[in-house]
Amino acid sequence: MFPSTQKPHARLAPSPTGSQHIGNARTYLIAWLSARSQEADITLRIEDIDSPRVKAGAADLILEDLRWLGLDWDHGPIIQTERLSLYEDALRKLKAAELVYPCTCTRGDIAEAASAPHLEHEGPVYPGTCAKRSVSDAATLHRPYAWRFRVNGAPEFMDGFHGPMHIDPRNIGGDFVVWKSAQTPAYQLAVVVDDAAMGITEVVRGDDLLTSTPRQLLLYQALGGQAPKYIHVPLVIGPDGRRLAKRHGDARIASLREAGMKPATLIGFLAWTCGWLAKPAPITTRDLLPLFRLETIPREAFVFTPTMLV
Ligand code: GLU
Ligand code: ZN
């Protein structure tokens, strides 16, 4: 079903749900440097299927941010909402194999039924309330339902940054949603269909997605296709230890650009946070290529305060 390719192929996969901040820039920079140092092709993919969260104009701003930073790409932008039929094909395949079942649970139902402690990112573990249903039961349901994938086990994998990963199956949240409602595939399904269809060989992304990877590997097993190498890199956080957000001050790339910062200044700052420069100094993405190494990136999240950049 999916092409297999020898040529290294990476992707940048931003979600147009708001302005990109320096944490996003750091991850894209690492992804770009890793790709370009292997002479990989890069595809830019706009992950806009989560429509309630998508913001008008955000995708254009992302392209502007990436160009300004000096992060180029060879293919795309590819827009996920234009690829629904591919995701529908994959869902059909999962249904034919009875690997999914219709789930009518609301968030409230799940929170109530779940005895397991809530997971930090994933919410409560799905208690399996609807798992006894088969695919054909969907026709008898008279309320909205999602399609859930039957999880059995969490595949281990070798992360290109964190090393061997053995994630406890309980930490991946149980049977997970692959299709939210009419016309709305879930992230886990869309990302696997796209990475496989594009022949992506390397995925560099934030390590908040580490627990998504076993789910994506299960989908590769179900759908066929060669899983990429995964490299999960630490996030940028605020001084309170939480993910970078508005309350931490303005760390948006667009704001820095509008304030007159030069891209080389920001790249040099990010390069310093990754251990490629001894101190922040202006440098272009091209000039950074020979200095790029994954090993020097600190294991811990980088703690950012906006005063660092003034
Ligand atoms: N679109 C996702 C994000 O911006 C990234 C997904 C991925 O890299 O797999 O968080
Ligand atoms: Zn359910």
Ligand 1: which atom is nearest the Cα of residue 204? 8
Contact by Cβ (8 Å): 58, 98: no
Distance 132 CA to ligand 1 centre (A): 32
Rounded to the nearest whole angstrom, what is the distance from the C-alpha of residue 136 to the centroid of ligand 1? 32
- CB 229, CB 203: distance < 8 Å: yes
- Does the Cβ of 23 fall within 6 Å of ligand 1? no
Side-chain-facing half-sphere of 116: CA atoms under 13 Å: 17
Whether residue 70 contacts residue 259, with contact meaning beta carbons closer than 8 Å, is answered with: no
pTM, entire model = 0.94
CA angle 47, 245, 217 (to 5 degrees): 40
User: What's the confidence (pLDDT) of residue 104?
Assistant: 96
Structure tokens at 309: 């950049």
Ligand nearest to the CA of 105: 2
3-state SS, residue 48: coil
The predicted pLDDT at position 1 comes to: 42
**Amino acid at residue number 5:** T
Q: Are strands 9-12 and 41-46 parallel, antiparallel or unpaired?
A: parallel
Q: Rounded to whole angstroms, how far apart are CA atoms 166 and 22?
A: 30
CATH number of this structure's domain 84-201+212-227:
3.40.50.620
216 lines ligand 1 (CB under 6 A): no
Whether the Cβ atoms of residue 245 and residue 17 lie closer than 8 Å to each other:
no
Indicate the domain borders of the chain: 9-81+235-309, 84-201+212-227
C-alpha 171/C-alpha 164 separation (Å) is: 16
**Predicted pLDDT at 248:** 82
* Candidate of 209, 216, 253 to mutate for ligand 1, largest count of ligand atoms within 8 Å of Cβ: 209
Q: Is 191 in the pocket of ligand 1 (CB under 6 A)?
A: yes
Residue with tokens 């999602």: 146
CB atoms within 10 A of CB 38: 14
> Which residues of the chain fall short of a pLDDT of 70?
1-6, 114-122
**CATH number assigned to the domain with residue range 9-81+235-309, chosen from the 4 options 3.20.20.70, 3.40.50.300, 2.60.120.260, 3.40.50.620:** 3.40.50.620
Q: Map residue 249 onto helix, strand or coil.
A: coil
* 178 Cα to the center of ligand 1, angstroms: 16
Is the separation of the CB atoms in 125 and 173 below 8 Å?
yes
Contact 124, 109 (CB under 8 A): no
Residue 247's pLDDT is what? Answer: 81
User: What does the alpha-carbon distance between residue 251 and residue 83 come to, in Å, rounded to a whole number?
Assistant: 32
Same CATH topology for 9-81+235-309 and 84-201+212-227?
yes
Report the candidate in 156, 121, 157, 160 with the shortest Cα–Cα distance to residue 30.
Answer: 160
Phi, psi torsion values for 165, nearest 5 degrees: -115, 120
